[in-house]
Amino acid sequence: MAQELIRLEHISKQFDGQLILDDLELVIHENEFVTLLGPSGCGKTTTLRIIGGFEKPDEGRVIFEGKDITDLPPYKRQLNTVFQKYALFPHMDVAANIAFGLRMSKKSKTYIDDKIKYALKLVNLDGYEHRSVDSLSGGQQQRIAIARAIVNEPKVLLLDEPLGALDLKMRQDMQYELIRLKKELGITFLYVTHDQEEALTMSDMVVVMNQGYIQQMGTPVEVYNEPECAFVADFIGDSNIIDSVMVRDRLVRIMGKEFECVDTGFGLETPVDVVIRPEDVMLVPADDDDPNALNGVVTDIIFKGVFYEVSVMTEDYEWQVNSLDPFEVGKRVRITVDPFDIQIMNKPVSEDEEAIASYD
């Protein structure tokens, strides 16, 4: 396993009496691409700023390579930050923007020139040294901001929603560029976003946050396929989340119908939440003679190019289904699910428990 690089210990932070982070703990390892993911106000940017030294926690410590850096100013930390607003200097050309930190460190002209060429080559902008930053596209400006950060050879690159101002195509291109840069540089990336696709596409580790708590940490595959609470299931992609009852180990009752599953340890006749992804629901023609089947009616269908997005109404719940086959609106269908695709979760008993579900 990679060596531990950053440890946040019992971090709490308030702004104007509002609790933003509550006893947060997090470990980041060397050479990881870690994404802090969550809705606005969940605490992800505050976490990034505390690591970067731009904010100081009310309680807790920031440990970097085994040393307490909680009180260390940003310029003394072995990291650099790329912001959503790239903060480039409009009165300087590209080379001067990239060299700014190096000149502040009083590096030699030869060293600076070599670093500028290296950084521009790394971000695929060879020959742009003397361009005005105002003449560059949003994607090019973003690359210059990254080049300015990496010439300082940080051990950690902090990125605060750096793709938010780009259009969809450019944002997708830059996602692959960031993956490439991380591999070539061999440094740790800590990335903040509210975009689930970005997090799943780029990350080695995803940290899902809500209301100042970490809801779940894991690989993109883990947080998508094995959400530990309803919030994660709903926030990471589309989900069907249904009130159900765990009959016994490996058997769950969904809308009065029993389905085999693979989960155990929930007890007998226990209320639970069931999560089933739209792509894991299979539709077949309804058999009116089967009282144990979960039947419904197709209420809507939208062609998405690769699949059809189908809405199916069963009793008082509308299922979202991704199907390769078209189904006519009004057609009666039966819902089937593979036992391995049924995710069982405990029901939170209070709002506080719901916010901190999976955190303890």
Q: How far, rounded to the nearest angstrom, does the alpha carbon of residue 296 sit from its chain's CA centroid?
A: 34
Helix residue ranges per DSSP H, 106-204: 109-122, 138-150, 168-185, 196-202
Q: Is 360 exposed, middle or buried (0-12, 13-18, 19+ CB in 10 A)?
A: exposed
* Residue 234 belongs to a domain: no
Q: Are 201 and 246 within one domain? A: no
- For residue 324, the domain's CATH number is 2.40.50.140
Q: Are 205 and 252 within one domain? A: no
* Residue 233 belongs to a domain: no
Q: Are 196 and 284 within one domain? A: no
- In 3-state terms, what secondary structure has residue 67? strand
* Residue 106 belongs to a domain: yes
Distance CA 288, CA 271 (A): 28
Distance CA 130, CA 157 (A): 25
Residue numbers of the domain that contains 107: 4-225
Q: Are 137 and 8 within one domain? A: yes
- In 3-state terms, what secondary structure has residue 93? strand
Q: What is the pTM of this model?
A: 0.85
Of the residues 155, 190, 225, which one is the last residue of a structural domain? 225
- For residue 178, the domain's CATH number is 3.40.50.300
Considering its fold, how many domains does the chain have in total?
2
* Residue 299 belongs to a domain: yes
pLDDT per residue of the chain (360 residues) written in tens, 0 to 9: 679 999 999 999 999 989 999 999 999 999 999 999 999 999 999 999 999 999 999 999 999 999 999 999 998 999 988 877 767 888 889 999 999 888 888 888 899 999 999 889 888 888 899 899 888 888 888 888 888 888 888 899 999 888 776 777 878 888 888 888 888 888 999 999 999 989 999 999 999 999 999 999 999 999 999 998 889 998 998 899 999 999 999 999 999 999 999 999 999 999 999 999 999 999 999 876 677 789 999 999 999 999 999 999 998 899 999 999 999 999 999 999 999 999 999 987 644 445 544 444
* Residue 232 belongs to a domain: no
Q: Are 192 and 250 within one domain? A: no
* Residue 26 belongs to a domain: yes
Spell 98-128 as b/e; 16+ CB within 10 A means b. bbbbbeeeebeeeebeebbeebbebbebeeb
Q: Are 100 and 211 within one domain? A: yes
Q: Are 192 and 271 within one domain? A: no
Identify residue 272 by its one-letter amino acid code.
Answer: V
* Residue 230 belongs to a domain: no
- In 3-state terms, what secondary structure has residue 46? helix
Instruction: List the strands of the sheet with 213-218, edge to edge.
Output: 79-82, 156-160, 188-193, 33-37, 205-210, 213-218
Of the residues 188, 203, 225, which one is the last residue of a structural domain? 225
* 123: phi then psi, degrees, rounded to nearest 5: -100, 15
Q: Are 18 and 165 within one domain? A: yes
Q: Are 173 and 123 within one domain? A: yes
* Residue 231 belongs to a domain: no
Which residue's structure tokens are 């509210």?
194
